[in-house]
Amino acid sequence: MARRWLKTHLREGLRLRDSLAISPRDQSYEDHEKGMEGYDVARASSPETILRSYFYGAQYGRLERCYGFICECAFPAGQPILSLACGNCAIETKLLMDGRDLVLSDLSRGGFVDAVLRLFPSARFGSLDILAGGRLPGKRPQIVLAMNLIYLFDAAQLSRMFGNIRGLLPEGGHLVLDSAGSPPHWLPVFIKNHWTFWEGYPRAVLKSLKTRRRYWPQRQDFGWMHESEEIVSSAEAQGFRLVKRRDYCHGIDFARIYPIYKLLSVFPALMPAFALCGRILGIPHTRMFLFEAVGDINPDPASTGRRSRRRDTSP
Ligand SMILES: C[S@@+](CC[C@H](N)C(=O)[O-])C[C@H]1O[C@@H](n2cnc3c(N)ncnc32)[C@H](O)[C@@H]1O
């Protein structure tokens, strides 16, 4: 069963009694951009600056693992790729440098995407809300990437997302996605939803004293933590077959604990010890999945009398 994921922020000017309220989830691309502390367009002056700022070593190696998994899939050169929810385009920059035929997409086109499109004139952008469905003009993608997206979706939305992606792909096409967070194991649930909030009070007091501004912690409805089995069965019900799976980044959840985060920023070499603990406990932050689109999709079952493999994906 998916579990709610809350994220704590130290908010300036918040009243103490409001700190217990849970603020609503990000809705637009602009909200996400802010939540990720802004995608700094100045850092997109060259592909190398993007990679230095947002890819190499970022998020404890998460993006490098995702990219490594995509490379392992050994997709033939020239196959059109559609990257959903491209955000700051870090993995996409790496793929464009490899000469991949890539379409970037997100809810809307921000300044960061503009900068990437200037650096890679062969790349294209299309705005696509994968829950709303539809397709972008141009070549049909053979591969769809969905990195760090599904934490935003509950079980019904996850199913709708898989159905809409299946509709974009031909039979034999591929979908690569990551779990966008750890499974709903008790430890990551405790760390993300409780520990980081309560440790936020002493942090807020220290920050208020230091800055002479008032801060209190507040939790935000961040998204969902999904079980791997739930992800796979949801995809299978929408016409996908699991081809490959790998687990990575077992230490990331510990790094959300502020003293551990500080310790790791001074002694990054300690990360493998936390990763080992996470491996023993079974809490990979990044679970990668390669799915293949199987069976034909008949968008209008009534016209041929055949039943579509696809379940109803209406809300
Ligand atoms: C955390 S960012 C992912 C950035 C990047 N792919 C990565 O791996 O770091 C999540 C992105 O999902 C996008 N998003 C949210 N809802 C979406 C939807 N329904 N369809 C497509 N993209 C969506 C947001 O605009 C945001 O840029």
Where exactly are the structural domains of the chain?
A: 39-184+226-249+286-315
Per-residue pLDDT band at 300 (split at 50, 70, 90): very low
Q: Does domain 39-184+226-249+286-315 have CATH number 3.40.50.150?
A: yes
Per-residue pLDDT band at 297 (split at 50, 70, 90): low
Per-residue pLDDT band at 70 (split at 50, 70, 90): very high
Please give the pLDDT value at position 197.
98
CB 123 within 8 A of CB 95: no
What average pLDDT score do residues 94-102 get? 97
Pocket perturbation via mutation, ligand 1, pick of 106, 113, 224 by most ligand atoms within 8 A of CB: 106
Query: Residue 36 above 70 pLDDT?
Result: yes
Q: Is the CB of 149 under 6 A from ligand 1?
A: yes
Share of the chain above pLDDT 90, in %: 86
Residues ≥6 apart with Cβ < 8 Å to 270: 263, 264
Query: Residue 127 above 80 pLDDT?
Result: yes
Query: Residue 21 above 60 pLDDT?
Result: yes
Please give the pLDDT value at position 32.
85
Instruction: Determine the Cα–Cα distance for residues 246 and 288; give it in Å rounded to an integer.
Output: 5
In three-state secondary structure terms, 16 is: helix
Give the residue carrying structure tokens 């802004």. Answer: 38
What average pLDDT score do residues 203-229 get? 98
Query: Residue 213 above 70 pLDDT?
Result: yes
pLDDT tens-digit readout, 235-259 = 999 999 999 999 999 999 999 999 9
Please give the pLDDT value at position 66.
98
Pocket perturbation via mutation, ligand 1, pick of 86, 102, 149, 159 by most ligand atoms within 8 A of CB: 149
Q: Is the CB of 131 under 6 A from ligand 1?
A: yes
CA of 36 to the centre of ligand 1 (A): 11
What's the CA angle centered on 65, arms 278 and 30, to 5 degrees? 100
CA of 302 to the centre of ligand 1 (A): 35
Task: Provide the whole-model pTM.
Answer: 0.91
Please give the pLDDT value at position 35.
78
Q: Is the CB of 84 under 6 A from ligand 1?
A: yes
What average pLDDT score do residues 207-231 get? 98
CB 179 within 8 A of CB 208: no
Query: Residue 113 above 70 pLDDT?
Result: yes
